Amino acid sequence: MNVPNHIAIILDGNGRWAKAKGMPRSYGHVKGCANLEKICDHIKDVGVKYLTVYAFSTENWKRSKEEVEGLMKLFRSYLKKCMKSAKKNNMRVKIIGDITAFDEDIQQSIIELEEYSKDFDSIYFQIALNYGSRDEIKRAVRKLAKDVENGELKPEEIEESTIESYLDTAGIPDPDLLIRTSGEQRLSNYLLWQLAYTEFYFTDVAWPDFGKKELIEAIEKYNGRDRRYGGVKEDTNV
């Protein structure tokens, strides 16, 4: 099986999953968060090198105060637990998104986790927190414009690779496969630049139920795809 080097996942459906069980949305987030711990093990087992998950978007602040506070509480405990998981899986963890919007202690936990795991290299795990692709591009353009203003770079020297190097995902290869759980078929402002040639896989399975079996199913579907990058596929039968 040809295993994708980089999988990106939009973890969706926690709220609906809980509602279907007659439980509050917060219960779905707790179970979704527990599943996030497991997916790193599965990724390692199947041999995927990079995993990037969408856990909280720049738009998710619009949810009720109660839901946002519940999510912050979950992030606090998750970021601490993630240290163990990083060590166990020899996994580097990086947060993408604008973390300055979070409370000081959450920002501190993020810095500690990144620092602690920076030399681990079996898998590379990116968590998108307060992430929005348009916001990422805005921040990148501002930084780039400043460097031009300071004379460090000329406008005609700006290449695609220059833009990439200003994004939160600098140095990380583009995803090969994007998975969105729970039935919606949209990007919701996720990795707009990076997903230019990525294969998309949508499943009705809600995030808390997305396990190893579902991951392998997604990879198998990906294997049947004819990836082209604009060219013509080589005839492999001759």
Q: Which positions lie near Mg ion, rule CB under 5 A?
A: 12
Q: Is 5 in the site for ligand IPE (CB under 6 A)?
A: no
Q: Is 222 in the site for ligand IPE (CB under 6 A)?
A: no
Using CB under 6 A, pick the residue from 184, 209, 214, 217 that binds ligand IPE: 184
Using CB under 6 A, pick the residue from 6, 7, 8, 15 that binds ligand IPE: 15
Q: Is 188 in the site for ligand IPE (CB under 6 A)?
A: yes
Q: Is 14 in the site for ligand IPE (CB under 6 A)?
A: yes
Binders in 106-165 for ligand IPE, by CB under 6 A: none
Distance CA 168, CA 97 (A): 7
- Interface with ligand IPE (CB under 6 A), residue total 18
Q: Choose between 12 and 176: whose C-beta lies nearer to Mg ion.
A: 12
**Neighbour-count burial for 76-104, b at 16+ CB within 10 Å, e otherwise:** eebbeebeebbeebebbbbbbbbbeebee
Q: CB of 158: closest distance to ligand IPE in angstroms?
A: 30
Using CB under 6 A, pick the residue from 10, 48, 93, 110 that binds ligand IPE: 10
Q: Are 145 and 138 in contact (CB under 8 A)?
A: no
Distance CA 95, CA 122 (A): 17
Identify what 55 binds: ligand IPE, Mg ion, none; CB under 5 to 8 Å per kind: ligand IPE
Q: CB of 9: closest distance to Mg ion in angstroms?
A: 13
Q: Choose between 56 and 201: whose C-beta lies nearer to ligand IPE.
A: 56
The 8 Å CB, 24+ separation contacts for 222-230 are 222/2, 222/4, 222/176, 222/177, 223/1, 223/2, 225/199, 227/197, 227/199, 229/197
Distance CA 55, CA 33 (A): 9
Supply angle C-alpha 30, 195, 89, rounded to 5: 45
Q: Choose between 74 and 113: whose C-beta lies nearer to Mg ion.
A: 74
Q: CB of 110: closest distance to ligand IPE in angstroms?
A: 16
Q: What is the largest CA-CA distance in the chain?
A: 61
**Neighbour-count burial for 172-188, b at 16+ CB within 10 Å, e otherwise:** bebbbbbbbbbeeeeee
Q: Is 60 a catalytic residue?
A: yes
Q: Is 12 a catalytic residue?
A: yes
Q: Choose between 19 and 76: whose C-beta lies nearer to Mg ion.
A: 19
The site for ligand IPE (CB under 6 A) is made up of 10-16, 32, 54-57, 60, 71, 182, 184, 186, 188
Which residues belong to the active site?
A: 12, 60
